[in-house]
Amino acid sequence: MNDLTFKEIWETLYNVDVSKHTEEKMNLTYLSWARAWMLLMEHYPQAEYTFVDYDALPYRTLPDGTAEVITKVQIEGHTRSMALPIMDYKNNAVVNPNARQVNDNRMRCLVKNLAMFGLGMSVFAVWEDHLPSEEKDEQPEDKKTPPKKKAKKEEPKAEVTEETFDEAWANIFLEATEKLIVMQDTRELLTGFYKANKEAIGRLKSNFPEHKEKLDKIFKDHADSLPQEEEGKTNSQDNKE
């Protein structure tokens, strides 16, 4: 019987000092998903997370055309879920989000989900972004229903991401990903995990090829240790992608 309680998990994770792992972006303090998961694995290596899909889509669309992502985290039988609107780099909700926005906000939602267990809650506790404001009440420019007043069109700008993709990031990503790889207990799950992180892995290949070679070996060694799956099952999974 597992006697671990939510209270004990909270007391453990809330007392983890995340200050040396945070970054400043847009006058806000962020804890990256890689660092958050690495810190979680130091205390609860059996923890798991899932992304919730709706009608085969990785997000839930709201009536005004904006959307939100949902995550669930389980720590030794204790589960909490979290929702996060899909936002642009200015933290404004977007309509018809692209793949990059969906992926980025899923990982942001995961970090927020972990805060519900205590990890990094001190970061969110100082934010005032949850308070209502006139700016947040404005509808997105490309809302599906016509706005009463046409907003001035802005020139497209490059997105600002949460991560600083330096060698420190590469080291943390490699370490955190290795821990997640060994948790995939079938080839199907391992393949899905690789696809879900393909963008970050591609960045690793471009900027840090030696790290990418190490990661490839970790994937191959773990794949070789897993039993072969039936062809029909593999094809079924491929058809879903």
Higher-confidence residue: 126 or 18? 18
Q: For tokens 């990982």, what's the residue?
A: 107
Do 13 and 113 lie in a common domain?
Answer: yes
pLDDT tens digits, residue range 54-113? 989 999 999 999 999 999 999 999 999 999 999 998 889 999 999 999 999 999 999 999
pLDDT tens digits, residue range 180-209? 888 888 888 888 888 888 888 888 888 888
146 is a domain residue: no
Average pLDDT of span 214-231:
83
Do 39 and 120 lie in a common domain?
Answer: yes
| Whether the predicted pLDDT of 162 surpasses 80 | no
155 is a domain residue: no
108 is a domain residue: yes
Q: What is the residue range of 206's domain?
A: 167-240
Handedness of CA 51, 187, 208, 179 (dihedral sign): positive
**230 near 221, Cβ under 8 Å?**
no
Do 121 and 172 lie in a common domain?
Answer: no
d(CA 97, CA 8): 38
Tally of residues, the chain: 241
Nearest CA to 127 out of 35, 38, 25 is that of 25
The reported pLDDT for the residue numbered 117 is 95
Considering only the C-alpha atoms of the chain, give the largest distance between any 2 of them, rounded to a whole number of Å: 60
120 is a domain residue: yes
